[in-house]
Amino acid sequence: MRITDDRYTRDRLRLDLALRLIRHEARTRTIRSWTGLTDDRIRKLYRSYVADAGHRDVRRHRGKSPRQSAFFMRNASIRREAAGLATLLCVLGLLKRDGGTLPGALEQLRFGENFCEAYETFLSLNERPQISFEHACHLLRSLEKQNEICLDDCEGCGSLLVIMRYAERPKVCEFCASSRPPARPGLSVGDC
Ligand SMILES: [Zn+2]
């Protein structure tokens, strides 16, 4: 009986998570690895979600996931978004730098739910976010590996910064940079 209950709960969690991922336009590959559902099952879920529920604006992405970490440095607003999202991932305990042991099926589902929670919070805080769900996954993976990007603290306010590991690091976050007057060398207070 217990086994049946557990299996039912897991199947329910699997389907709920898959639908949540479809809504976020996650790639089939991501949905498959996070939920353990087959491609066929995902295709059917996607079809019924889009066709039956009238969500025709949801797109299905089949190609490769984003791999460019430089994307997160592209402009000030993406840098601000990346810092905010990284903070949420840290707060929700999703960023594990040691890699840890391979999660079981249920842990994997819980991870997926928490990640969706982080991304949905991120969406609610940004009016027109440029970081897609798959970019958010890439941000997490890259911050875990720390090959190209890593975290640092802003010297102005102490908030988290996402920086390129081998490039010159910015001293302050985008918020501090935009709220501080630019330095004007050679001009003292007495000159004004
Ligand atoms: Zn700052």
d(CA 159, CA 172): 9
Q: How confident is the model at residue 98 (pLDDT cuts 50, 70, 90)?
A: low
In angstroms, what is the span from residue 152 Cα to ligand 1's centroid?
A: 11
Distance 61 CA to ligand 1 centre (A): 35
Q: Rounded to an integer, what distance in angstroms lies between the CA atom of residue 94 and that of residue 7?
A: 25
156 C-alpha to ligand 1 centroid (Å): 5
The one-letter code for the residue type at 96 is: K
CA of 26 to the centre of ligand 1 (A): 31
Per-residue model confidence (pLDDT) at position 8: 82
Mean pLDDT of 22-36: 93
User: What is the distance in A from the centroid of ligand 1 to the CA of 133?
Assistant: 25
Buried b (16+ CB within 10 A) or exposed e, 144-178: beeebbbbbebeeeebbbbbeeeeeebebbbbbbe
What separation in Å is there between the alpha carbon of 97 and the centre of ligand 1?
Answer: 24
Long-range contacts of 2-9 (CB under 8 A, 24+ apart): none
Q: What is the pTM of this model?
A: 0.83
Would you give the end-to-end CA distance of the chain in angstroms?
Answer: 80
CA 97/CA 126 separation, integer angstroms: 26
Query: Per residue in 34-81, pLDDT tens?
Result: 999 999 999 999 888 877 766 666 676 666 667 788 999 999 999 999
Residue ranges near ligand 1 (ion) with Cβ within 5 Å: 154, 156-157, 172-173, 176
Q: Is the pLDDT of residue 135 over 90?
A: yes
User: 22 with 49: CB under 8 angstroms?
Assistant: yes
Quick one: tokens of 43? 């295709």
Q: For all residues of the chain together, what is the average pLDDT?
A: 86
Kindly give the distance from the C-alpha atom of residue 146 to the centroid of ligand 1, in angstroms, as a whole number: 22
